[in-house]
C-alpha cells in the first residue's frame, strides 16, 4: 500500500521530483530547526518570530516552486530567491544572537547547518546556470 511508504516515496510524479534534491531536504531541515527554536523564545516579539519562520520556510518553498516550473531560467530565478531568503534568515538569527535572545551553542548548530545548505544551494544554482549557458533546457516532458 502507498500509505506504508515513507512520505517522500508516495505518489511520485515528475512534478514532485524536488523531493529528491538534497538542497530541498536540507532546507526543510533548517526550517524545522528554526521553528523548534522560535517556539521556545517567549521574550521575542511575535512579529519578529513570524518573520524568522517565514524566511526559513521560504527557502524550501522556492526550491520546490522553481523545480516545478520546469524551465532552467525560472529554476535559477527561484533558487536565487531561496538564497536571498536564506541570507535574510541568517541576518535575523544573527540579530537574535547579538541581542542575547539565543545562545551561542544553538547559533553554532544553526550556522553550521545554514552554511552547508547555502554552499549546496549556490553550487546547485551554478550547475543550473552552466546548463543554461551550454544551451540545455529543462526536460519538460510530462
Classify domain 15-133 at the CATH superfamily level: 23S rRNA-intervening sequence (1.20.1440.60)
The structure's pTM equals: 0.89
* In contact, 26 and 116? CB cutoff 8 Å: yes
Where is average pLDDT lowest: 4-8, 32-36, 59-63, 128-132?
4-8
- pLDDT per position as a tens digit, 59-80: 999 999 999 988 899 999 999 9
Q: Which residue has the cell 518573520?
A: 51
Q: Rounded to whole angstroms, how far apart are CA atoms 82 and 37? A: 21
Amino acid at each position: 500500500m502507498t500509505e506504508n511508504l515513507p512520505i517522500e516515496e508516495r505518489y511520485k510524479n515528475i512534478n514532485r521530483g524536488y523531493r529528491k534534491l538534497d538542497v530541498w531536504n536540507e532546507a526543510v531541515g533548517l526550517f524545522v530547526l528554526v521553528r523548534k527554536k522560535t517556539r521556545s523564545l517567549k521574550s521575542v516579539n511575535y512579529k519578529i518570530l513570524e518573520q524568522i519562520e517565514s524566511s526559513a520556510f521560504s527557502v524550501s518553498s522556492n526550491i520546490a516552486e522553481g523545480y516545478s516550473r520546469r524551465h532552467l531560467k525560472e529554476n535559477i530565478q527561484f533558487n536565487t530567491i531561496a538564497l536571498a531568503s536564506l541570507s535574510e534568515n541568517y541576518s535575523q538569527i544573527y540579530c537574535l544572537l547579538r541581542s542575547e535572545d539565543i545562545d551561542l551553542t544553538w547559533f553554532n548548530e544553526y550556522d553550521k547547518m545554514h552554511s552547508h545548505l547555502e554552499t549546496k544551494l549556490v553550487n546547485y544554482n551554478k550547475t543550473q546556470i552552466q546548463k543554461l549557458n551550454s544551451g540545455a533546457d529543462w526536460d519538460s516532458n510530462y
